[in-house]
Amino acid sequence: MAFKKSLGSKVFDSFNIVFLLVLTLLCLIPMWYTLMIALSDKAAVQAGMVTIYPIGFNFYSFQSILGDPKFFRSILISFERVIMGAGITMLILSMAAYPLSKTSKQFPGRNALMWLFVFAMLFNGGLIPWFLTMRTYNMMDSILGLALCGGVPIFNLILMTNFVKNLPEELEEAAKIDGAGPWRFLFSILLPLLKPVLATVLLFTLVNHWNDFFQGMILSTREESYPLQTYIQQLVVSTNLQSMSQMSVEQLNRLSKMNNDSLNAAKVFIAMIPVLLIYPFMQRYFVKGITLGSVKG
């Protein structure tokens, strides 16, 4: 089939490979670059000399992080929040997806509930009513608050519901004949079959909780309750953006002498590691989970 490729076809293939590899590098380089900054000498970083390899290679940044209790506190908060949030979400969504996958004949009221969920997914009261409600619930400075404040991740719930609907109905009939009740069926038969979609939803939930800075920012009344991303946002992003708009270039230069970009890069790099460790291994699941769960008639 492929034995007589035209010249144009070969040229295209080579161009294609090169182009796609460049795109790939474009997605990998920022992370590589952060690591290089973290491993470089502070002065070289400030002079803008560091590009794709470290200059003045050293581990000072990573060493000095070890003595930074604020950083570790925020990591701890993030971990607690991710575990609590993902645990609650997975349990509640798995329990809800099964009854919602029934037809309205098998479970009267199912359609109304489904519409209620969809409505809440598409419409919300906006930021301020949400914030005031959270404050009324006393969700400030609390890890439980961070775990719950986003509400039900309805898109994920629908993804799971559709996945369950795609399974053959005979499964449940067979289980019933063998005497399994709904709980037994849910936990012993259904959940193991939902592996791809559970992995997908778990990944999305973990990443969402890990990556959130905003809820962490407005639900914290003091620095001590910042999760990691909020901590980095305040330390690196917010400081930089504010100083840019308020200072002259000379002032900025003076400030940057005091900032430690290398140290900041090390923190940013550490914040990326959990994501790097998780998603590549979930890849085959989430590709399957997305494509199967999102298209259902």
Partner 1 sequence: MATATSTIATQPSTKQVIRKSNFDRRNKSDLKHFWIMLSPALVWLVLFQIVPMFGIVMAFQDFNPGAGFFKSEFIGLENFKYMFELRDVRQVLVNTLVIALGKITLNLFVPLIFALMLNEMKQVRLVKFIQTSVYLPHFLSWVILSSIMLQIFGYNGPVNAFVMDLGKEPFSIFQQADLFRGFVISSDVWKNFGFNSIIYLAALAGIDVTLYEAAEIDGATRWGKLWHITLPSIQTTIALLAILSLGSILDAGFDQVYNMYNPLVYSTGDIIDTYVFRAGLQQLDFSFGTAVGLLKSIVSFVLITTGYWVAKKTVGYRIF
# binding residues, partner 1 (CB under 8 A): 112
**Candidate residues 57, 137, 171, 223; the one interacting with partner 1 per rule CB under 8 A:** 137
CA separation for the pair 7, 244 (Å, rounded): 52
- Residue 104 touches partner 1, criterion: CB under 8 A: no
Q: Does 107 bind partner 1 (CB under 8 A)?
A: yes
| Position 47 contacts partner 1 (CB under 8 A) | yes
**Residue among 209, 211, 175 nearest 190 (CA):** 175
In the complex, minimum distance from the CB of residue 3 to partner 1, in angstroms, rounded to a whole number = 12
Q: How far apart are CA 285 and CA 297, in angstroms?
A: 21
Contact between 103 and partner 1 per CB under 8 A: no
**Interaction between residue 64 and partner 1 (CB under 8 A):** no
Rule CB under 8 A: say whether 79 interacts with partner 1.
no
Q: Does 10 bind partner 1 (CB under 8 A)?
A: no
Minimum Å gap between C-beta 246 and partner 1 is 8
Report if residue 95 touches partner 1, rule: CB under 8 A.
yes
Per-residue x/- track, 151-190, partner 1 (CB under 8 A): xx----xx--xx-------------x----xxx--x----
DSSP the chain: --SS--HHHHHHHHHHHHHHHHHHHHHHHHHHHHHHHHHS-HHHHHTT--SSS-SS---HHHHHHHT-HHHHHHHHHHHHHHHHHHHHHHHHHHHHHHHHTS-TTTSTTHHHHHHHHHHHHH----HHHHHHHHHHTT-TT-HHHHHHTT---HHHHHHHHHHHHHS-THHHHHHHHTT--HHHIIIIIIHHHTHHHHHHHHHHHHHHHHH--HHHHHT-SSGGG--HHHHHIIIIIIHHHHHHHHS-HHHHHHHHHHS-HHHHHHHHHHHHHHHHHHHHHHHHHHHHHHHHHH---
Among 99, 167, 180, 260, binds partner 1 (CB under 8 A): 99
The window from 46-54, 62-70, 79-87, 191-199 that contacts partner 1 (CB under 8 A) reads 46-54
| One of 70, 195, 254, 296 touching partner 1 (CB under 8 A) | 296
- Give the distance from CA 179 to its chain's centroid: 40
Q: Does 279 bind partner 1 (CB under 8 A)?
A: yes
Task: Tell which one of 220, 264, 266, 285 touches partner 1 (CB under 8 A).
Answer: 264
Binding to partner 1 in span 19-38, by CB under 8 A? 19-21, 23-24, 26-28, 30-31, 33-34, 37
Question: In the complex with partner 1, which residue's Cβ is closer, 76 or 132?
Answer: 132
* Binder among 59, 76, 129, 224 for partner 1 (CB under 8 A): 129
**Residues of span 188-247 touching partner 1 by CB under 8 A:** 207, 210-214, 218, 229-230, 232-233, 236-237, 240-242, 244-245
